[in-house]
Amino acid sequence: MLLGCESCGLVSPAVAVDDPTLVQECPRCGHVLVATKPHALQRTWAFVVAAAVLYIPANALPVMVTTQALQRDEHTLLGGIHELWLDGSWGLSIIVFIASIAVPVLKIAVLGLLAWTVRHKPHWRRLERARLYRLVETVGHWSMLDVYVVVLLAATVRFGALASASPGPGLISFAAVVVLTMLATWSFDPRLIWRDAADGRAV
């Protein structure tokens, strides 16, 4: 078996064959080479479950609190999207919906599916599963969009009682969901999808 270094790309022969817990060092750059990431499935599940639990307060609690002409308003994630939609900014409301609702849900569902299928359906649609993993890895960090928007609004709308905005308690949960799903993605080892698979395109 051959192991490729993720940092420098050098390919080294594995010192032991068929040992999934194998850990060795890249002879060129010293980076760790592993046959499979350590406890990949357990870590992925832990992060996915934590993200799924925190996703509830992220949606239920307000992510932003605004004051305008002495009137205090609390905005949830979905509420903000709804306001954009009512204002006629349909395109924007769709972008925010994708970034804040669709991507986190997709990530939690896809990572759960990937971790489950490794154990229970190892031969099922390997190429499609590999593509799903790639998709989740690529779009994952776009969920941070709403966190940045609230930070920016709180930094510019500073007119005291006339108008002000500040982050709400839901925003911390939401930021945690984004970070946890990113950690879950990196903990999962896509090579597990291909365990015992034949080479070439025949799957």
Footprint of other proteins (CB under 8 A): 1-4, 6-11, 28-31, 68, 84, 87, 89, 92, 95-96, 126-127, 130-131, 133-134, 141-142, 144-145, 147-159, 162-163, 166-167, 171-172, 175, 179, 186, 190-191, 193-194, 197, 199-201, 203
Closest approach of other proteins to the CB of residue 121, in Å: 17
User: Coil, strand or helix: which one is 120?
Assistant: helix
Query: What size, in residues, is the chain?
Result: 203
Closest approach of other proteins to the CB of residue 189, in Å: 9
Looking at the Cβ atoms of 68 and 76, the one nearer to other proteins is: 68
Q: Compute the chain's Rg from CA coordinates.
A: 22
Looking at the Cβ atoms of 119 and 201, the one nearer to other proteins is: 201
User: Coil, strand or helix: which one is 46?
Assistant: helix
User: Coil, strand or helix: which one is 179?
Assistant: helix
Looking at the Cβ atoms of 116 and 142, the one nearer to other proteins is: 142
Strands across the sheet containing 64-68:
71-75, 64-68, 163-167
Taking residue 189's Cβ as centre, other Cβ atoms within 10 Å add up to 23
Q: Which amino acid, one-letter code, is at 18?
A: D
Closest approach of other proteins to the CB of residue 192, in Å: 10
Closest approach of other proteins to the CB of residue 56, in Å: 18
d(CA 175, CA 186): 17
Looking at the Cβ atoms of 24 and 68, the one nearer to other proteins is: 68
Q: Which amino acid, one-letter code, is at 75?
A: H
**Across-strand partners of 11?**
4
User: Coil, strand or helix: which one is 171?
Assistant: helix
Closest approach of other proteins to the CB of residue 49, in Å: 20
Looking at the Cβ atoms of 14 and 109, the one nearer to other proteins is: 14
